[in-house]
Structure 1
Amino acid sequence: MNKDKRRQILERLRTENPHPKTELNYSSPFELLVAVTLSAQATDVSVNNATDKLFPVANTPAAIAALGVEGLKEYIKTIGLYNNKAINVVALSQILLDKYDGQVPKNREALESLPGVGRKTANVVLNTAFGWLKDNDGRYFIAVDTHIQRLANRTGYAKGKTVEQTEQAIIKNTPNKTEFMFNLHHWFILHGRYVCKARTPDCSSCIINDLCEFKGKTV
């Protein structure tokens, strides 16, 4: 795929959704950190259903730590892998209290050192909660999940066998990064979730159909 096609894809996605947002409900960096941690191998809808009940009761590191693992499980037991997630969320809450004065660190390495927090979660928090495009070393915060991995590879926008390879390919291939990189994660995840779906992509309603290089189009 050439540079002009990639730019047209981004321009169309931007026109359709000029101000994209995460579908996870949150009102603070800590709430987003918890929500994204809970969202691994789970839908945003299931996470929101749980956190809509949890956050009015406990939405700070101190409150989550006080709730404890067993207490937290009662709120998130409808989410997949809730046992391990409860352990991780309580543990990361205690670390935030002990090491960061109860604040979510604005640093990728510090975030990734927290239990249950990987590269994707760290990038989402830094980009979405703090509004950061890249760090001081020039590394962009682009979180690649299964939807973005699929969309980037299927369309030909960026190729990569792993999410990290795809992340680097997206960064390399994106034209005018200052203009597009900040919202690219949201545009791709939403398009992948609702249009370029895994089993049967809805090519007939896709606004980038003519730019996409996928050979298995449904139209």
Structure 2
Amino acid sequence: MPVGRDGDRTERARAVIRRLARTYPDASIALVFSNPFELLVATMLSAQSTDTKVNEVTATLFSKYRRPDDFLAVPEDELKDDIHPTGFFNQKARALRAMSHRLLENFDGEVPSAIADLVTLPGVARKTANIVQANAYPQVARRDRDAGIAVDTHVGRLAVRLGLTDHGSKDADKIEHDLMGSIAKKDRLRATNLFIEHGRRICTAKRPLCGDCAIERLCPSSQRAGLIDRYRLARG
């Protein structure tokens, strides 16, 4: 049964996750990594870039930079050249070096598993911390009281369109808070990956493909929902 505009957010979120899971059974993080440090670096590089571009860069980057001290052993300009294709390379190079220094200084060169520790790293906010913890330390994520949902542009857009938040798509922290209230902790990693996949394929920023959407009947923002509303208003 379709969930109406005023339907319970928790029920809607559950229904959305069920349907998207059937649509994208293999949805998972697109970044390629083999350990927590590689995932942290790749996630930091993905800001204002695409996962495809980041994977192209890290395919060779990770053979040169294997540990935090490797990022400090080369001149900053050399690091900038190595990550140049991901964009914003000046800021990213500084952030990667500062993050690596903090890891060596405070965590013996190891990527911490707790959100509270991850967000102390330079260049790491909650989105990056959630991605790293959920994908590199899933067991920790299940019991960490600070664990949440990584709200990127796709997750934020779907949350707004599905009526799962009262905040605009740019307010990531408040959107995350709303989603944490309606999505069970055990479902948060899966929901993140499903929302991202659906946002890339169907629920795009411009011209969403509502006619091909598996969750259109659950979405108060769909084109069909809009047509129904206008029809009802016209009939008075």
Q: Could you state the TM-score of these two structures normalised by the residue count of structure 1? A: 0.90
Letter in 2 for 1:27: S
Q: Structure 2: how far apart are the matches of 1:134 and 1:159?
A: 26
Q: How does 1:34-183 map to 2 (within 5 A)?
A: 34-131=41-138, 132-136=140-144, 138-161=145-168, 162-174=171-183, 177-183=184-190
Letter in 2 for 1:70: D
Q: Structure 2: how far apart are the matches of 1:61 and 1:129?
A: 17
Unpaired runs of 5+ residues, structure 2, are: 1-6, 228-236
Cα distance change of structure 1 residues 6 and 111 upon mapping to structure 2, 3 Å threshold:
closer
Q: Structure 2: how far apart are the matches of 1:98 and 1:123?
A: 22
Q: Structure 2: how far apart are the matches of 1:6 and 1:192?
A: 15
Q: Structure 2: how far apart are the matches of 1:87 and 1:8?
A: 43
Q: Structure 2: how far apart are the matches of 1:139 and 1:10?
A: 22
Q: Structure 1: how far apart are the matches of 2:97 and 2:132?
A: 18
Given that 1:124 and 1:141 are in contact with CA atoms closer than 8 Å, whether structure 2 keeps it comes out as: no
Q: Structure 1: how far apart are the matches of 2:155 and 2:207?
A: 16
DSSP 3-state at the match of 2:192: helix
Query: Deviation at 1:98?
Result: 2.1
Q: How does 1:187-202 map to 2 (within 5 A)?
A: 187-202=194-209
Q: Structure 2: how far apart are the matches of 1:92 and 1:45?
A: 23
Residue 23 (structure 1) aligns with:
30
Cα distance change of structure 1 residues 157 and 51 upon mapping to structure 2, 3 Å threshold:
same
Residue 233 (structure 2) aligns with:
none
Unpaired runs of 5+ residues, structure 1, are: none
- The answer to which of 28-37 and 123-132 deviates more is 123-132
Given that 1:152 and 1:166 are in contact with CA atoms closer than 8 Å, whether structure 2 keeps it comes out as: yes
Q: Structure 2: how far apart are the matches of 1:160 and 1:134?
A: 26
Q: Could you state the TM-score of these two structures normalised by the residue count of structure 2? A: 0.84
Structure 1 or 2, whichever has the larger Rg, is 2
More helix by share: 2
Given that 2:154 and 2:196 are in contact with CA atoms closer than 8 Å, whether structure 1 keeps it comes out as: yes
Query: Deviation at 1:74?
Result: 1.5
